Amino acid sequence: MYRGKSITELRSLLDSSEVTAEELFSDANTLAHRFQEDYNSFVTILDTMKYKKRDSLLDGICYALKDNFSTNGILTTASSNILKDYVPVYDATVVRKLKNAGAILLGKTVLDELAMGGTGTTGHTGVVCNPWDKKRMIGGSSAGSCACVALGIVPFSIGSDTGDSVRKPAAFGGVVGFKPTYGRISRYGLFAFASSLDHVAMFTRNVLDAAIVTDVLKGKDPHDMTTLANDEKNYVSLLNQDVKGKKLFYVKEICGIDVMEQSDDLELKETLARFHEVLDNIRKEGFEIEEVSIRKELLEAIYPSYMSISCAEATSNNSNLTGILFGPRGEGDTIEEIMFDARTKGFSEFIKRRFVLGSYILQKENQEKLFLNAQRVRRMLVDQMNQFFQKYDAMIAPCSGGPAPYFDATSEKLSDRYLILENHLAIGNFGGFPSITLPYGFVQDMPVGLNITGRVCEDDLVLAIASHIEEITGMKDLYCKVGE
């Protein structure tokens, strides 16, 4: 009954007492159960609500939380067998903030195991399906969080974004995915994948809602040294700031006309053609858009560098998963044996491969070539972006070369295909730039998304630009009406 409504819409219904928080929760809970079998958004659906009324825009609003955020007393598995029975004893900072804002947790959502992956297919409780087409993936790793917003079950959900884990699935699900500046939102309680790249991010169905959620979540946290001081800005009220004449750029090698013309992939052609149409419309509304060029070799280095840095950090970050103090205890006669057994049984093959790769990269004799060179590429790309940001306010790009892939289309094996267009969003993580995905159209009846990435700390400007583009495309408050 309240399916598909945005935070803003639900707010006014709550404020005018047309609905109660209890009714909203019960409605969302019913929807969650109804779509669980087909789409598998959730690891855990909560059937009782925990709620204290607060004076906040999020008061009484239900949300879903990726199952890699620590929730006191609520199972948190990171969609991995190694944590399948883990019940945390503390709340992540975002969870605490949402509680304090009166938001109501509906459930914990499925992710790619330990957030390492981009398909939504590797969670220990099964595959997450795309609401727009069950034969396609929703993308990952924040798969369940995206699916439940795309299904209209909740108006917003929390995810984490290390390479594109919110912004890519958002594109595939036809919703908004926003990753603020690194350090804007505390990571305390987010199970680390790659600490220097991990961001707390969110799914909403419009840009205004993303601003509302960010206003609640942002701020300095004494538990996270990497958090930024409060910027004393209200992103909601800054959404309407004047963005006329703002300068955007797109990178020729990522999404220029050449890429379209040189490809024989019809999906890609259509996706890019639609993107350039949108660019024209945006120009008409007073934005300046120019094409810039980045060395192709540098762009092709994004993915391997991302793999190198993220796998290296991940190997270390997940060394705490030994089954000694938490998680299923392994069998054996020595402590080494029980750790070995717990980890052998607890991680899927895919995760193990990433860990071996990451640890190889960190070996003394390989660090220079594999790890430090990746970190050098990171700096080169970030420096390049910052150079552009001296002249331009934001980068605009399509999130992918097409709509969500079919399940059998790609495997998680490393491959050379679509090296640039499918992986460029990691630039946002390399530099910690605020970066937002919003739908810009449909290709083959599936939503496609574009991305705006701006200067570090200028979250308000990125949101404002996105909000104006949202008006121009008219692609707002989308959700998949399947089952209605």
Site for other proteins in 233-272 (CB under 8 A): none
Buried/exposed 187-198: b ≥16 CB within 10 Å, e otherwise? bbbbbbbbebbb
Q: Report if residue 420 touches other proteins, rule: CB under 8 A.
A: no
Per CB under 8 A, the segment of 7-15, 119-127, 265-273, 428-436 that binds other proteins is 428-436
| Residues of this chain, 46-85, that bind other proteins according to CB under 8 A | 68-70, 76, 78, 83, 85
Q: DSSP label at 371?
A: I
Number of Cβ within 10 Å of residue 405's Cβ equals 19
Q: Report if residue 421 touches other proteins, rule: CB under 8 A.
A: no
* Nearest CB to other proteins, comparing residues 26 and 359: 359
* Nearest CB to other proteins, comparing residues 13 and 338: 338
Joined tokens for residue 391: 């002249």
DSSP annotation string for 271-288: HHHHHHHHHHHHHHTT-E
* Nearest CB to other proteins, comparing residues 212 and 381: 381
Out of 41, 56, 66, 70, pick the active-site residue: 66
Q: Report if residue 375 touches other proteins, rule: CB under 8 A.
A: yes
* Closest listed residue to residue 338, CA positions, set 330, 349, 346: 330
The residue count for binding other proteins (CB under 8 A) is 104
Q: Is 66 labeled as catalytic in the residue annotation?
A: yes
Amino acid at 470: E
* Nearest CB to other proteins, comparing residues 183 and 403: 183
d(CA 456, CA 393): 11
Joined tokens for residue 231: 């910027």
Out of 80, 157, 165, 400, pick the active-site residue: 165
d(CA 421, CA 11): 38
d(CA 173, CA 167): 10
Q: Report if residue 376 touches other proteins, rule: CB under 8 A.
A: yes
At closest approach, how far in Å is the CB of 383 from other proteins?
8
* Closest listed residue to residue 313, CA positions, set 177, 202, 187, 170: 187
Q: Report if residue 369 touches other proteins, rule: CB under 8 A.
A: yes
Q: DSSP label at 365?
A: H
Q: Report if residue 224 touches other proteins, rule: CB under 8 A.
A: yes
Residue 317, phi then psi, degrees to nearest 5: -60, -30
Q: Report if residue 430 touches other proteins, rule: CB under 8 A.
A: yes
d(CA 81, CA 112): 12
* Nearest CB to other proteins, comparing residues 313 and 460: 313
d(CA 407, CA 282): 34
Kindly write out the interface string for residues 118-157 of this chain, putting x where it contacts other proteins by CB under 8 A and - elsewhere: ----------------------------------------
| Residues of this chain, 291-330, that bind other proteins according to CB under 8 A | 295, 297-298, 300-301, 303-305, 307-308, 312-313, 315-316, 318-322, 324-327, 329
Q: Report if residue 187 touches other proteins, rule: CB under 8 A.
A: yes
Per CB under 8 A, the segment of 56-64, 142-150, 221-229, 277-285 that binds other proteins is 221-229
**Residues marked as catalytic:** 66, 141, 165
